[in-house]
Amino acid sequence: MSKIFKKFTGPLVSLLFLLNMTSVGYAETTVSAEVSFIFNTFLFLVCGFLVMFMAAGFAMLEAGMVTSKSVSVICAKNIGLFSIAGIMFWMFGYNLAYGIPEGGYIGKFIPWSDASKIDTGYADGSDWYFQMVFCATTVSIVSGTMAERIKLWPFFLFAAILSGIIYPIVMGWQWGGGWLAAAGFNDFAGSTLVHSTGGAAALAGAILLGPRLGRFTKTGEPAPIKPFAASSIPLVTLGIFILWLGWFGFNGGSQLAIGTAVDAIAVSKIFMNTFLAGAGGVMSAAIVTRIAFRKTDVIQMLNGCIGGLVAITAEPLMPSPLAAILIGAVGGIIVVYGTKFLLTMKIDDVVGAIPAHLFAGIWGTLAVPITNSGASFGTQLLGVVSINVFVFIVSFIIWFLMRSTFGIRLSKEGETKGTDVTETGVIAYAIRD
C-alpha cells in the first residue's frame, strides 16, 4: 500500500504545484549567466539549421517551377549562391552590418572574428551563423526570378556583391543599430530587410534582363503557358513545405534569446503566428483565384503561403492569432494580383518571387503599427522606401554594368537549347519537354 502511495504521491504533488503556478501566473526564476548563454546559443544554432534548410526549399521550388531543360542550372545556382554568401558574409558582410556606428550608415570592411564572452549572452559564432543564413536567403530570392535566360557566372558575381555589400549595409541600418534603428523602424525578422531586399534586387535584374524568348506575344499578352509549364508541381509543393518549416527558425530565432520563461513563451507565440499567417496566405489565394478566375490555382496557393509568411515576418510576436491569419491572408491576395500586375508590365518572374517577397514584404512592414502600438506608420514607410529604393538603384547599376561589359543573358541559341545544356552540360531529366 505504501509503495502505491509513494508511486502516485510524487506526480500528484507536481501536478498540484503546476496548477498553483497557472492560477497565479508562472513563477519567475533566474538562471545563471552561463546557462542563459548556452540556451541562447542553442537557439541560434537550431534556428540557423532550420533557415539553412530553406535553401533546399528554394532549390526545390525553383527546380519545379522552371521547364525541365533548366533544372540542373537551378541546382548549381542554389548551392553556389549559398557558398558564395557564406564566404562573403565572413569576409565583409558581418562587420559591415554590426561594425556600424550607432545611428550610422555603414560598418567596416573587415573579416569576422570571435570575441565571445559570457556577458554577451551567446557565442559569437552562433550569431554569425544565424545571420549568415539570413544573408544567403536574401540571395536565394533573386535566383528564381531570372531563371532560364541568365548566365550562371554573372549571377554568381551579383550574388557576391549582394551578400557581401548590399544586404549587409541595409541590415546594419536596422539590426546593426544604424540610422533606421535610431529612427524607430521595426522589422522583427526581415519582411523588408531580407525579403524586400531580395525582391528589389530581383526586380532590377528582371527589367534589364528581359523576359524569356516567346514569353509575351507581339501584342504584349502573355503567351500560352504550355511552352513554359512548370517541370514538377510536386517539387514546388515540397519546396514550399520545406520553406514553411524553415520559417519557424527564421522568425522564432529572431527573438534572439530563450534563456527565460518570457522568451520561451514569446518564441512559442511566434511559431504559432508564423504558421497561421502561412495558412491564411494559402487559403486567401485559393479563394481569390476560384472567385476571380474560376480555377483554384495551385501555384498561387503555394506562393500565397510564401506571401503570408513574408507578411508576418516584420512582426510575428504582437498579433493575435486572428490578426496573424488576416495579415497572412492579405499577403496571399497581394501575391495573386501582384503576379497579374507583373504580367501586365511584361516583367517575367519565373517563380513569382517579386510579388511574394517584395510586394508582400512591403505590406507586412507597413502593417506593423496595426498590432504594435510602439511602431509608427511614418517611420515604417521611411524604412520601406529607403531600403527598397537603395537596393533597386544599386542593383540596377550593377546589373547594367555587367550587361554592358561581359553580358548577363544567354544567346538565343543557348536559351532555346536550355540552360542545362548550355551552362552545365548536365541534363536533369532523361525525358525532355
When comparing pLDDT for 312 and 425, which is higher? Answer: 312
184, part of any domain: yes
Model pLDDT, residue 28: 52
- Residues 208 and 178: their CA atoms lie apart, in Å, by 31
Read off the pLDDT band of 432 (50, 70, 90). low
27, part of any domain: no
Return the CATH number at 389: 1.10.3430.10
Per-residue pLDDT at 276 exceeds 70: yes
Model pLDDT, residue 116: 85
Report percent pLDDT > 70 for the chain: 91
Model pLDDT, residue 222: 76
Could you report the per-residue pLDDT of 160-174, keeping only the tens digit for each?
999 999 999 999 999
Read off the pLDDT band of 23 (50, 70, 90). very low
- Compute the Cα dihedral for 327, 333, 335, 337 and give only its sign: negative
21, part of any domain: no
Helix pair angle (33-65, 124-145), 10° resolution: 10
Per-residue pLDDT at 17 exceeds 60: no
With H, G, I as helix, E, B as strand and everything else as coil, classify residue 148. Answer: coil
Q: What is the dihedral of CA 356, 169, 147, 385, to 10 degrees?
A: 40
The count of domains in the chain is: 1
Could you report the per-residue pLDDT of 65-123, keeping only the tens digit for each?
999 999 999 999 999 999 999 999 999 999 999 999 999 999 999 999 988 888 888 99
Model pLDDT, residue 150: 96
Model pLDDT, residue 371: 97
What is the arithmetic mean of pLDDT over 314-328? 98
Which of 93-102, 130-139, 424-433 is predicted with the least confidence, judged by mean pLDDT?
424-433
228, part of any domain: yes
Model pLDDT, residue 204: 98
Which of 238-242, 253-257, 415-419 is predicted with the least confidence, judged by mean pLDDT?
415-419
Inter-CA distances, 186 with 102, 138, 249, 430, Å: 16, 18, 19, 49
323, part of any domain: yes
When comparing pLDDT for 241 and 417, which is higher? Answer: 241
Mean per-residue pLDDT over the chain, rounded: 91
Model pLDDT, residue 9: 43
Q: Which residues contact 36 (CB under 8 A, 6 or more apart)?
A: 121, 257, 259, 260
What residues are paired with 222 via a beta bridge?
216
Per-residue pLDDT at 433 exceeds 90: no
Model pLDDT, residue 228: 75
* 278's grid cell: 502561412
Could you report the per-residue pLDDT of 206-247, keeping only the tens digit for each?
999 999 998 887 777 776 666 678 889 999 999 999 999 999
Per-residue pLDDT at 20 exceeds 60: no
Model pLDDT, residue 224: 66
222: DSSP letter: B
429, part of any domain: no
Q: Which residues contact 344 (CB under 8 A, 6 or more apart)?
A: none
Could you report the per-residue pLDDT of 380-403, keeping only the tens digit for each?
999 999 999 999 999 999 999 999
Read off the pLDDT band of 18 (50, 70, 90). very low
Host domain of residue 335? 33-103+116-424
Contact 274, 331 (CB under 8 A): no
When comparing pLDDT for 357 and 11, which is higher? Answer: 357
70, part of any domain: yes
Could you report the per-residue pLDDT of 27-61, keeping only the tens digit for each?
455 778 899 999 999 999 999 999 999 999 999 99
90, part of any domain: yes
User: For residue 113, how many other CB atoms are within 10 A of its CB?
Assistant: 10
- Residues 212 and 394: their CA atoms lie apart, in Å, by 24
